[in-house]
């Protein structure tokens, strides 16, 4: 028996001894043994619940999602039980293999989406400290992004394909496609009918509006996401600053007209609060789209949340580059089927865009993109057919790595939006 097992056995027998003394104490005080036994059962039931929670976190990490960083506190009994569970080989193996858990949305947000939510524009004004004059701000953005003539003549950077080009025969194999290109979270699922490579690759993702008006909208549901070297209070060192660089590349290098919406949806009354972020973002983004019907592409740019020992980085053109991940919400629950209260008529279009971008990454920048992540809810991907949620890097990346990642991301976006992935 190892030293660890001997220690754990001692702890367990110590607990049993304490419970025995506890029961005897009740007897000395004249209390009934039934009452004492009930107290012991209550302790054991609490222990059972703690053990269940520990097992859920180990075996189904998606069910124990955390909306942002926070400290967890455990009672003594849960501490002992977690240590005991840790000696089981399967628990230890899965705990070591768990790479990351996405920070897309919390359970509280799920509840809000179910119930619906009312958003007051004045609430946003108060917490951002900015005058809410959307029309004036959009006009300024449009003037800055006025590249109609340049867009027609701007030379596009060429890049040699150095990675893998997959054939339609390979991608038509559902098991091959799912296993090599996707991570499907436990609470959802996808069928070969929905994940049909033939149909998804036939979808024309090219920008149709080439003459006037903004074409791409970039925003951040979680604008407070930062990196290992972000500076407190300096938005240029957060995901918002990374979005600035992506907008600059798409505008100056590739000739698109881009609006970068930097409004805040996850910092309310001076505190980080992601519970209503998607509901708040949806209303304002919808208003921007209503005022700018020429917008065809909507990008919600995030950074992921991973274990502190995980570093999502590769090398592109000799520079350290954060890896990024495309994300799709399916509005589908494995338990209950289609989520009717979160309709998205553009699920197939969303899937087509992310798959075509992933294939472009494999062709030109192998290793820069992770597998596409599929989750059960909607995440505001219903606002346009070409809606995209990107998880770029994580909190363990540097700002430089994140900025470098925008260069391959902008390239593959242009490759798909210009039709470079379409077989003639």
What band does 118 get if pLDDT is binned at 50, 70 and 90? very low
Whole-number pLDDT of residue 423? 61
Task: List 298's β-bridge partners, or say none.
Answer: 217, 387
Whole-number pLDDT of residue 216? 98
Whole-number pLDDT of residue 267? 85
Which whole number is the average pLDDT over 330-336?
96
Spatial contact of 51 and 88, defined as CB atoms under 8 Å apart: no
pLDDT in tens, 13-71: 777 777 677 656 655 455 555 455 555 545 445 554 554 454 444 444 444 433 333 33
Task: List 297's β-bridge partners, or say none.
Answer: 216, 386
What band does 104 get if pLDDT is binned at 50, 70 and 90? low
- How many other C-beta atoms lie within 10 A of the C-beta of residue 245? 20
Which whole number is the average pLDDT over 306-328?
96
**Dist CA 174 CA 193 (whole Å):** 9
Element (H, E) at 391: strand 386-394
Whole-number pLDDT of residue 161? 78
The pair of three-digit structure tokens given for residue 147, joined into one six-digit string: 């590249």
Spatial contact of 99 and 304, defined as CB atoms under 8 Å apart: no
Whole-number pLDDT of residue 17? 76
pLDDT in tens, 357-395: 999 999 999 999 999 999 999 999 999 999 999 999 999
Tokens 């995440």 found at: 379
**Dist CA 59 CA 176 (whole Å):** 25
* Positive or negative: CA dihedral 116, 391, 299, 70: positive
DSSP string, 276-320: THHHHHHHHHHHHHHH-TT--EEEEEEEE-B-TT---EEEETTEE
Whole-number pLDDT of residue 122? 29
Which whole number is the average pLDDT over 312-338?
97
Average pLDDT, the chain: 77
Spatial contact of 46 and 32, defined as CB atoms under 8 Å apart: no
Whole-number pLDDT of residue 395? 96
The SS3 assignment for 366 reads: coil
Q: Is the pLDDT of residue 77 over 60?
A: no
Q: Is the pLDDT of residue 310 over 90?
A: yes
Whole-number pLDDT of residue 55? 46
Share of the chain above pLDDT 90, in %: 56
Burial (Cβ within 10 Å: 0-12, 13-18, ≥19) of residue 371: middle
pLDDT in tens, 152-166: 445 556 677 788 999
Whole-number pLDDT of residue 238? 97
Torsion, Cα 166 168 172 175, to 10 degrees, reads -10
The pair of three-digit structure tokens given for residue 50, joined into one six-digit string: 């703690």
Q: Is the pLDDT of residue 265 over 80?
A: yes
- 50: Cβ contacts below 8 Å, ≥ 6 apart: 74, 75, 77, 78, 81, 82
pLDDT in tens, 240-257: 999 999 999 999 999 999
Which whole number is the average pLDDT over 187-215?
93
Whole-number pLDDT of residue 382? 98
Which whole number is the average pLDDT over 291-318?
96
What band does 198 get if pLDDT is binned at 50, 70 and 90? very high
Expressed in angstroms, the distance from the first to the final Cα of the chain is 68
Q: Is the pLDDT of residue 202 over 90?
A: yes
Spatial contact of 272 and 224, defined as CB atoms under 8 Å apart: yes
pLDDT in tens, 350-366: 999 999 999 999 999 99
Half-sphere exposure (Cβ direction) of 183: Cα atoms closer than 13 Å: 15
Whole-number pLDDT of residue 380? 97
Q: Is the pLDDT of residue 275 over 70?
A: yes
């Amino acid at each position: 028996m190892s030293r660890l097992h001997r220690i754990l056995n001692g702890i367990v027998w110590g607990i049993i001894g304490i419970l025995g003394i506890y029961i005897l104490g009740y007897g000395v005080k004249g209390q009934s043994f039934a009452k004492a036994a009930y107290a012991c059962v209550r302790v054991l039931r609490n222990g059972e619940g703690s053990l269940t929670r520990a097992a859920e976190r180990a075996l189904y990490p998606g069910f124990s999602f955390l909306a942002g960083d926070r400290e967890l506190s455990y009672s003594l009994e849960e501490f002992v039980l977690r240590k005991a569970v840790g000696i089981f080989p399967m628990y230890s193996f899965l705990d070591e293999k768990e790479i990351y858990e996405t920070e897309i949305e919390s359970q509280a947000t799920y509840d809000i989406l179910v119930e619906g939510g009312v958003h007051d524009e004045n609430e946003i004004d108060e917490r951002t400290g900015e005058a809410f004059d959307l029309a004036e701000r959009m006009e300024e953005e449009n003037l800055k992004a006025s590249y109609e003539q340049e867009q027609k003549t701007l030379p596009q950077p060429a890049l040699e394909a150095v990675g893998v080009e997959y054939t339609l025969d390979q991608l038509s194999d559902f098991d091959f496609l799912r296993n090599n290109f996707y991570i499907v979270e436990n609470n959802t699922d996808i069928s070969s009918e929905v994940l049909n490579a033939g149909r998804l690759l036939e979808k024309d993702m090219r920008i149709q509006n080439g003459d006037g008006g903004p074409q791409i909208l970039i925003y951040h549901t979680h604008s407070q996401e930062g990196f290992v070297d972000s500076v407190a209070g300096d938005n240029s060192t957060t995901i918002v600053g990374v979005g600035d660089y992506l907008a600059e590349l798409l505008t100056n290098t590739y000739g698109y007209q881009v609006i970068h919406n930097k409004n805040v949806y996850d910092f309310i009354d001076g505190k980080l609060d992601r519970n209503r972020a998607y509901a708040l973002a949806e209303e304002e983004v919808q208003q921007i789209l209503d005022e700018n019907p020429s917008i065809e592409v909507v990008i919600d740019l995030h950074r992921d949340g991973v274990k502190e020992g995980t570093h999502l980085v590769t090398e592109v053109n000799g520079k350290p580059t954060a890896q990024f991940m495309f994300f799709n919400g399916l509005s589908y629950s494995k338990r209950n089927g289609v989520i009717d209260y979160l309709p998205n008529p553009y699920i197939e279009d969303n899937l087509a865009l992310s798959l075509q971008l992933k294939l472009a990454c494999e062709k030109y920048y192998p290793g820069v993109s992770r597998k596409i992540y599929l989750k059960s809810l909607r995440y505001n991907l219903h606002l346009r057919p070409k809606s995209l949620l990107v998880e770029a890097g994580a909190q363990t990346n540097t700002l430089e790595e994140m900025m470098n990642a925008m260069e391959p991301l902008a390239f593959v976006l242009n490759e798909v939006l210009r039709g470079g992935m379409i077989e003639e």
